[in-house]
Chains A and B, each alone.
Chain A
Amino acid sequence: MRANTLIQAYERMALIRAYENTVVSLAGQHRLPGTCTSIGQEASAVGVVSALSSDDLILTNHRSAGHLLARGADPARMLAEVMGKSGGYCGGKSGSLHISSKELGVVLTSTIVGGELSLVTGVALARTMLGQAGVVACFFGDGAACQGRFHESLNLAAVWKLPILYVCENNQWQAFVHRQETMLADGVVGHAAGHGIGGSRVDGMDVEAVREAAEHAISRIRETGAPHLLEVMTYRLRGHFEPDDQAYVDPAELARWRARDPLVLLRRRLIESGMADEADLDRIDVEVGVRLDRAVGVADASPYPERRELTSDVYA
């Protein structure tokens, strides 16, 4: 990847990290409800989303902050949503767990584990039938891959040749259960072959590798119209949901993955290759910090929804 692309990737990843750290600290102060943070998964979000073009769509799940910010979401509107304020992306009616933004092309976010897998086929079908170009990326976890809907979705997408990039963010955890307890294989990519579609796996801590794997998968989808399963091997560096002391996590495993923190890896690469120096990256960190402080102020100032919103938008 070229220097400016990689520095942009660092910027986005730093923004996601800063956003999540802000959410953690506000949750700790009881200024907003707990959320599922994506700390540790920034390279996955930025690598895949930056490989999409603006008319591609995204479906995501409860751990969506990285995907939204990678797509260009405004952290102030996201924070307002988490706070239940009217200035949020969904007018305060989503909270953190199911933020959708049609204008950003992040649609039908579902926190039913596997929900996005059941909806993505219809999104892709509509686009194909309406003659709209573009692929539909669907982010889901290794836990969701244990749902029957995972197989139903892959099978239908294969049979109907739907242009879907399935992105399994295998972060090794399914809430409080380790992935090794729930599947015999070491991941989910093997299921692609069973459904007759392309599959690939990538180191999810390396943003360049993720971006390349995503680009490769997307160009194959654009050429063939057929779906592809990309498994991103990553790690949930914080707990499932704030607060979560991670007492159940093997400290050696956590340490091993912490050493591969995607921001640390990218920082090292940028500096060692001479694309950036320490001061450049520190400056970016400071800038995103300032941006987040401002976002908190904007979100705080947003009013709560009016009482009449309680029953609005139930029916069209």
Chain B
Amino acid sequence: MEMTVNDAISAALAEEMRREPTVLIFGEGVATKRPDLLGEFGATRVRNTPLAEGIIAGTAVGAAAMGLRPVVDLLFVPFLCYAMDEIVNSAGKLRYMSGGQFSFPMVVLAMTGTGWGVGAQHNHNLEAWFVHAPGLKVVMPSTAADFKGLLKSAIRDDNPVLFFTDLALGYTAGSVPDGDEAIPLGSAAIRREGGDVTLVSYAKTVHTCVAAAEALAERGVEAEVIDLRTLKPLDEGAILRSVAKTGRLVVVHEASGMCGVGAEIAALVAGKAFHHLRAPIVRLTGPDAPAPSSFALEQAFVPQADDIVTAVEGILEDRAAPVG
């Protein structure tokens, strides 16, 4: 069935709430903006909250430890800065620090990314922060089907999961399989096969990579596009298998580069697939700057398909260079 990413998220929430009575959802305006959920599941399980991200997240952590499976909507990723303690110090650590006495089956929803011109306090791709923190899982899908299937898995997971929606994807549509299909966390998807270069990405820039791959195909270069889908756990196998085949790696994401997810992937490949590499690894990322709101600057902030094509051409030339 064809549906938008936003509808896929709603469908996953409704199905999981139907399936499991301990699932509840709360946040600023959640009950107001999700009348269908409110109507079906009632005001106990679908709640508006005061405007206070810290206590929203903390309430989810406490509830998760005591037998509920809360989903909280914190709206925009930068707002998670108000909830960092609850997510990082409590949800991420109290299982370990208590010697495994508690688990935290909870999901934090939030949007981020360029495309709406909302500026840097609504748009900040902070996913790497959470990848760096122990005890947390991080999911950033790119297609409607994945949004639905991965959110279902996130809700069923016994760990805290950060589930981020790239703003620009919310209204994009895609085909979503009918029925109860959960997609396991931690498995990447190959969006396009190719033997000349591996493009690794997640969220919106997966589509940029596919567009670049199509442009490259017209020039006789076959790019393989890997959509990570889950940043933690990371599907190392999918990345390493592809690089073993292509010998070239370009990592693309909108978040800034230093200590970003791309740095981790570059280190992974340098460490475990060095002998397969035929060219230097390239990272295409957003700059070390707050996300601008001006459309023109916003577009300049995000890696574009042309940038990817140029980067690939740059490392393909290395193929001609004498080795050793």
Binding site for B on A (CB under 8 A): 88-94, 98, 100-102, 107-110, 112, 115, 117-127, 129-130, 148-149, 152-153, 155-156, 159-160, 312-316
Q: B47 — which chain A residues lie within 8 A by C-beta?
A: 160
Q: In the complex, A156 Cα to B28 Cα: how many Å?
A: 12
- 8 Å CB contact of A316 from B24, B57, B66, B95: B95
Q: A130 — which chain B residues lie within 8 A by C-beta?
A: 22, 66-68
- 8 Å CB contact of B95 from A89, A118, A153, A314: A314
Q: In the complex, A274 Cα to B68 Cα: how many Å?
A: 51
From B57, which residue of chain A is reached at the shortest CB distance? A118
From A103, which residue of chain B is reached at the shortest CB distance? B101
Contact A121 B62 (CB under 8 A): yes
Does B214 make an interface contact (CB < 8 A)? no
Does B63 make an interface contact (CB < 8 A)? yes
Does B49 make an interface contact (CB < 8 A)? yes
Does B158 make an interface contact (CB < 8 A)? yes
10 residue pairs bridging A and B, Cβ less than 8 Å apart: A89-B99, A98-B97, A112-B89, A115-B58, A118-B85, A119-B59, A122-B62, A129-B24, A156-B55, A315-B135
Q: In the complex, A156 Cα to B100 Cα: how many Å?
A: 28
Contact A152 B96 (CB under 8 A): no
From B62, which residue of chain A is reached at the shortest CB distance? A122
Interface residues on B, range: 35 or more
Contact B58 A126 (CB under 8 A): no
Q: B85 — which chain A residues lie within 8 A by C-beta?
A: 112, 115, 118
Q: A115 — which chain B residues lie within 8 A by C-beta?
A: 58, 85, 89-90
Does B237 make an interface contact (CB < 8 A)? no
Interface string of B81-106 (1 = CB under 8 A from A): 00001100110001111111111110
Contact B94 A108 (CB under 8 A): yes
Does B70 make an interface contact (CB < 8 A)? yes
Q: In the complex, A118 Cα to B24 Cα: how many Å?
A: 18
Interface string of B259-302 (1 = CB under 8 A from A): 00000000000000000000000000000000000000000000
Q: In the complex, A87 Cα to B184 Cα: how many Å?
A: 36
Does B109 make an interface contact (CB < 8 A)? no
Q: A94 — which chain B residues lie within 8 A by C-beta?
A: 97-99
Contact B66 A123 (CB under 8 A): yes
Task: Tell whether A90 pairs with B97 under 8 Å between CB atoms, given A108-B90, A119-B62.
Answer: yes
Does B134 make an interface contact (CB < 8 A)? yes
Q: In the complex, A117 Cα to B62 Cα: how many Å?
A: 10
Contact A118 B98 (CB under 8 A): no
Contact A126 B66 (CB under 8 A): yes
New A-B contacts (11) at CB < 8 Å, excluding given A90-B101, A91-B100, A126-B68: A90-B97, A98-B97, A122-B62, A122-B64, A127-B66, A129-B68, A130-B68, A149-B54, A313-B100, A316-B158, A316-B159
Contact B59 A156 (CB under 8 A): yes
Task: Tell whether A148 pairs with B54 under 8 Å between CB atoms, given A100-B101, A122-B60.
Answer: yes
Q: In the complex, A81 Cα to B99 Cα: how many Å?
A: 10
Does B50 make an interface contact (CB < 8 A)? yes
Q: In the complex, A100 Cα to B135 Cα: how many Å?
A: 18
Task: Tell whether A122 pairs with B59 under 8 Å between CB atoms, given A108-B65, A127-B66, A148-B54.
Answer: yes
In the complex, chain B residues 105-136 whose Cβ is within 8 Å of any chain A Cβ:
105, 134-135
Contact B55 A118 (CB under 8 A): yes
- 8 Å CB contact of B90 from A90, A110, A129, A160: A110
- 8 Å CB contact of B52 from A98, A107, A152, A313: A152
- 8 Å CB contact of B63 from A101, A123, A148, A159: A123
Contact B50 A156 (CB under 8 A): yes
Q: Smallest Cβ distance from B132 to chain A, in angstroms?
A: 13
From A100, which residue of chain B is reached at the shortest CB distance? B98
Q: Smallest Cβ distance from B233 to chain A, in angstroms?
A: 9
In the complex, chain B residues 5-36 whose Cβ is within 8 Å of any chain A Cβ:
22, 24
Q: B102 — which chain A residues lie within 8 A by C-beta?
A: 100, 102, 107-108
Q: B135 — which chain A residues lie within 8 A by C-beta?
A: 314-315
Q: A159 — which chain B residues lie within 8 A by C-beta?
A: 50
Q: B46 — which chain A residues lie within 8 A by C-beta?
A: none
Does B151 make an interface contact (CB < 8 A)? no
Task: Tell whether A118 pairs with B49 under 8 Å between CB atoms, given A110-B90, A315-B159, A316-B158.
Answer: no
Q: Smallest Cβ distance from A194 to chain B, in angstroms?
A: 14
Chain A CB within 10 A, most for which of B49, B60, B94: B94
Contact B90 A314 (CB under 8 A): no
Q: In the complex, A120 Cα to B63 Cα: how many Å?
A: 9
Contact B68 A118 (CB under 8 A): no
8 closest residue pairs by CB, A with B: A122-B62, A118-B58, A91-B99, A126-B66, A313-B100, A122-B63, A152-B55, A316-B158
Does B61 make an interface contact (CB < 8 A)? yes
Contact A153 B98 (CB under 8 A): no
In the complex, chain B residues 167-202 whose Cβ is within 8 Å of any chain A Cβ:
none
Q: B65 — which chain A residues lie within 8 A by C-beta?
A: 107-108, 119, 122-123, 126
Q: B63 — which chain A residues lie within 8 A by C-beta?
A: 122-123, 125-126, 129
Q: A152 — which chain B residues lie within 8 A by C-beta?
A: 50, 52, 54-55
Q: Smallest Cβ distance from A96 to chain B, in angstroms?
A: 12
Chain B CB within 10 A, most for which of A89, A126, A130: A126
Q: In the complex, A125 Cα to B70 Cα: how many Å?
A: 11
Contact A149 B101 (CB under 8 A): no
